[in-house]
Each structure stands twice: as structure tokens, then as C-alpha cells.
Amino acid sequence: DIQLTQSPSFLSASVGDRITITCRASQGIRTSLAWYQQKPGKAPYLLIYGASTLQSQVPSRFSGRGSGTEFTLTIRSLQPEDFATYYCQQFSSSSQGFTFGPGTKVDLK
């Protein structure tokens, strides 16, 4: 199975900060990586797929990079509505399916 790790697990930041979350895969997954935002009591919300493609209507302050085993999600200027938990997710046809990372919680400093 392909495993995903995320760092950091928790991140305290202020409005206006630039933050970066890293997701690492245990095997190469090319660019088959997505990022989600989840707020308490709500379903996850797709932000980025294909490692760097912004989903429709997602603000441009979100960006994704990477390929192979290391990926990043950057929020350029943190807004109050961005305080949430972020998950990466991979899909591999060779390993038969999807895997989610453990999550990164972003809260207000």
C-alpha cells in the first residue's frame, strides 16, 4: 500500500501569513495527488487535483506543487476562512485505490 505523511500535523498562523504544508508518498505517484480542506462538522472540499490544478471556484491564493513523492500546498495570504484541517489524497491504479494523509490542522495563532 502507498502511505502518505503530512507535515506539520499542526500549524499556528496569523491572517495574512503564507503557509506551506508538505505531503510525502511512500512510493512515486507522479502527479496523482489532491488536496482537501475540511471545516468542523462539514464534508471535505476539493481544492487541488493533479498536484497543481486548482478546482473550479477555489481562490488563487491556494497553490499546489510537486510530483513523484513530495508535494506541497501553499496558501499565499491566509484568510480567516482558511483556518481548517487540510488533507492530501493519492490515487494509484497499481496499488488499487485511494489513500488519505493524516491531516494538518491550521489554527489561529
Residues binding other proteins (CB under 8 A): 1, 32, 34, 36, 38, 43-46, 49-50, 55, 87, 89, 91, 96-103
The C-alpha cell at 88 is: 492530501
Considering the complex, state which of residue 28 and residue 97 has its C-beta at the smaller distance from other proteins. Answer: 97
Q: How far is the CB of 43 from other proteins (least distance, A)?
A: 4
| 17/55 with CB nearer other proteins | 55
Q: SS3 letters for the chain?
A: CCCEEEECCEEEECCCCCEEEEEEECCCCCCCEEEEEECCCCCCEEEEECCCEECCCCCCCEEEEEECCEEEEEECCCCHHHCCEEEEEEEECCCCEEEECCCEEEEEC
- Least distance to other proteins, CB of residue 71, Å: 13
Q: Which of 1/81 has CB closer to other proteins?
A: 1
Nearer to other proteins, 17 or 99 (CB): 99
